[in-house]
A and B are shown apart, each in its own frame.
Chain A
Amino acid sequence: MAKTPIAFSLNGMERSMFVDPGQNLLDALRRGVGDLSPKYGCAQGTCGTCSVLVDGKLQLACITLAEAVAGSSVTTTAGLADGSELHPLQRSFMDNFAAQCGYCTPGMLMAAKALLDRNPSPQRQDVVEAISGNLCRCTGYEPIIDAILKAAAFMRTRGRP
């Protein structure tokens, strides 16, 4: 099967790889590059646990063709922290018990980051809408919503550390 060479930026680092026709971005990231932070949940674009940012826009890696990110900038949860300094969202998820099994967490964090990047002062309803494409089965949504709102408040007062 003919493979296509692609180059893209992943969490600020240049990557190049060969992808199969039809190969999705989730598989390319996980098995091709070894970034295991986006998770497989449904491969149907319904659960949100594979969410990543492509040029700052929230996308589901399982229904994005790997070829389509050529030349783009991709951000995953693995690139959220600044070195050893956690992103305020990550810190807030820890402090507010916003993860139990942790499997939906990377997708939740990406959806939250996409929201805060475009709206630093979200209302509760904005947060609910922002994570409406992300399913969680154990934690429950309330601690996650609280964590996102608290991270937003922290970032407004202190700025990003």
Chain B
Amino acid sequence: MKFSKWIDKRAGYILIIPAVIFIILFSIAPIVGSLRYAFFDMQLNDQSKNDMYLSSNVNLALNQETIDYLRYYLDIDLDSVEKEITIDKIAEIKLDIDDLEKYIANEIATSDLKAIVKVNQKDQEILVGKQQYILRSLEELYSIDDEFYSPEDTLAVASEFETTIIKSNFVGANNFVKVIADKRVRSTLKFTLVFTFISVFFELILGLFLALIMNRSFKGRSLVRTFSLIPWAIPTSVAALMWSYLYNGSSGIISKIFSTLGLIASPAAMLNSSSNALWAIILSDVWKTTPYMALLLLGGLQVIPNSLYESSSLDGATKFQQFRFITLPLLKPSIFVALLFRTLDAFRVFDLIYVLTGGGPGGTTESLSVYAYKVMFSQTRFGYGSAMVLVMALIVGIIAFVYIKALGVDLIGEDSR
């Protein structure tokens, strides 16, 4: 009984907690993760850089493996060599190897002998000294004229010692400096901004126009509304593939029509020339999103009370005056939300470009997201890619801030009453 009362008092928290946990695990924690990656030269395909190392580390497993191989090769050598001096030298080197192993076990290793462990500057120097000493002794050994098994292989194994030390890949703000200096970031940012501005502009104008039309009563209005949902509901990658067929140079009907109209030089030029490709992408985006914009704005139009129009027309207001002084001001919140969401969506455009042009021709239609994706997953440069994405997030934040300030609307408003 007491327990259920305790629960009831905290019902607000208990009900919201699952959602908060999911947001923390799959949104906030990864964002923090990206923020950390951005300060490291992290490259997934490079064994010594595939994690974040603030200080130097030793790869104990690799070190042990090298030691084991050296012992194995030296034992083979011991069977075949003849000179006394060689035998002595080999025994000496084996003692050095024992010494290195002991040093690691006593001074560096934790309980896990196969782990990657931190080392301080002093220990690192001693360790490298011991490894280098073994390497040099081996070189001396093989300069003796005797029957060795395979000096090249042994030396190659010994040179692995170098890779057992993993240097810190912390680079501070270096990645951000590089992002700002990166010419490709600049060109992709410019492309993304141009794409965002032009697409959202057309979507807003056409969407508003269509919303005003759909707000009138006519036969088949609900049918038009249903059909309007189709472009929005089709997955972007599928829509992109559809358009890539309509745009293709040999049998694409849209590219054929455009070239017949003289808008483009030839059907093949639709996606082969960078300026045409930009407009091709914009057209696909406008096709996909304008109906959605229209529905959003239609929702806003429908809550404007009819009485306002009736009384104003009694006062002799023209249609245009009604639009200018009733519709637009009352529609402002809807326009704001539609603009904000569409701008942020367009700015992070990925699927459409990835499938339609892949960023081509020659990287001229690459959006920031597409470039960041290539850096992270084709070149596996996670550190640099994360810095790029963070710069992108910052720009998104600035855009949102400017909208909120410029339009002066409280996004969440009194919803949290």
Bound together: no
